[in-house]
Amino acid sequence: MPIESKAQLIEELASGSKPKEQWRIGTEHEKFPFLTDTLGPVPYHGERSIRALLEGLKDRFGWTGIYEGENIIALSDPKGLGNVSLEPGGQFELSGAPLESVHDTCEEVHEHLTQVREVGDRLGIGFLGLGASPVWSRAETPVMPKGRYGIMAPYMDKVGTLGRDMMFRTCTVQVNLDFASEADMVQKLRVSLALQPIATALFANSPFLEGKPNGFLSFRSEVWRDTDGDRSGMLPFAFEPGMGFERYVDYALDVPMYFVMREGKYIDTAGESFRAFMEGRLPQLPGEKPVLKDWADHLTTIFPEVRLKKYLEMRGADSGPWRRLCALPAFWVGILYHQPSLDAAWELVKAWSAEERQKLRDDVPKQALKATIRGRTVQEIAREVLEHSRQGLETRGRQGCKGRTEAAFLDPLDEIAATGKTAAENLLALYHGSWNGDISRVFRDFAY
């Protein structure tokens, strides 16, 4: 059915509202495959390749292959529970199923890493969880055969200087969470936008690029500051009176398009207006109007610090080791799924101005826990926020192994907040210390 009005787009977002008992947790994480003998990147084609990894997972564990032309580009669970996909430079991503608890999420992560390790070991392929590729140049990084990337990369060069780094040389972990209503969405969006730099600091884990320190603790976060200002950032409008589904739709309509898919093929519409598309004035498809699938595709090409679809996506964290892959959903679930914790977090951030929020966002990639806002360090704020999150998780009372609640997954973050040392700073200490400047040690010491 063609989209005839903005009201349909508003209703599509609003349809994501769910009663609390139906709220779920969807975790996504990316990692860098590498050849274990040469420590080089993994090409798409060949005996030891991304394609062989995907085919191996399909044959060994019963995933269903998803193809673009003759190329396998993703895997889906036949039961509809999550999928495995490729980022532009071969980063391997698990898009997890919507699960009820952080315990379930952590089991899912463990099962996935076990599967990729089993197949990868046979191929001589390992996996590294960092926020940015530590060694390979852009030229050395393979390009995956997905049509959308051939459209996105050239457009990135027109709107920023680090877009290709974002595409080909970064990895993230994110969590997708539900809301009950428009008002609930707005409160959660505001709190999570304001606190996203706090999460970025706690998860900072990308201090290297092309074999040496890059001057940042989260280079992945810095990359987003100069990727594409039209589709990224802190969404200051979300804090203005009247914020709701309609206001986000207006924002999304004004974000330039990348592509339209027709009959399994990408049509390059980079820079065009979705509003014009709704009026049948898209030059590439004259007279044709979009359908809801086109709108859903368009929403996936918008990259703010928190993204609204039929749920909210927390997008501020670097990828990392197994423990921190489980810590991210715990951090946000404890705050956003427990009303007293959410209210306490809002009290903490509600007086911050748009300028203060932006400055914090700008300072964190380099300073992490040492950045300040209103005379307080991010380290201090992180400790307070972690207390709210822990209270929320304890109150949820979801028990796992040995009767522990989901709050146990916050332990690695508590350690970071207590010591003031991010994972990135610990990596730099190793690089300047026992590694003696040998960046290759990161593959041996920190691979999954």
Structural domains of the chain sorted by starting position, each given as residue range(s) with its CATH number in brackets? 6-255+302-436 (3.30.590.20)
Q: How confident is the model at residue 391, as a pLDDT?
A: 98
Q: Which of 316, 86, 50 is nearest to 197 (CA)?
A: 316
Cα first-last separation, the chain:
45
pLDDT of 183 strictly over 80: yes
Residue range 389-431, pLDDT digits in tens: 999 999 999 998 888 999 999 999 999 999 999 999 999 999 9
pLDDT of 29 strictly over 90: yes
**What is the percentage of the chain residues whose pLDDT exceeds 70?**
100
User: Three-state SS for 320?
Assistant: coil
Q: How confident is the model at residue 43, as a pLDDT?
A: 98
**Percent helix, percent strand, percent coil in the chain, to nearest 5:** 50, 20, 35
Task: Report residue 192's pLDDT band, with 50, 70 and 90 as the boundaries.
Answer: very high
Q: How confident is the model at residue 78, as a pLDDT?
A: 80
Task: Report residue 349's pLDDT band, with 50, 70 and 90 as the boundaries.
Answer: very high
Cβ atoms of 306 and 193 closer than 8 Å:
yes
> Average pLDDT, stretch 171-197?
98
What is the Cα 35 distance to its own chain's centre?
24
Tracing tokens 């964190």 back to the chain, one arrives at 364
Residue range 253-267, pLDDT digits in tens: 999 999 999 998 999
pLDDT of 81 strictly over 80: no
> Average pLDDT, stretch 33-56?
98
> Average pLDDT, stretch 323-334?
97
Rounded to the nearest 5°, which phi and psi values hold at 23?
A: -65, 140
Neighbours of 181 (CB within 10 A): 12
pLDDT of 80 strictly over 80: no
Average pLDDT score over the chain: 97
Q: Give, to the nearest 10 degrees, the angle between helix 102-123 and helix 322-336.
A: 160
Q: Which of 406, 405, 356, 404 is nearest to 381 (CA)?
A: 356
Q: How confident is the model at residue 401, as a pLDDT?
A: 82
Give Cβ neighbours of residue 321 (< 8 Å, ≥ 6 apart). Answer: 129, 423, 446, 448
Cβ atoms of 387 and 331 closer than 8 Å:
no
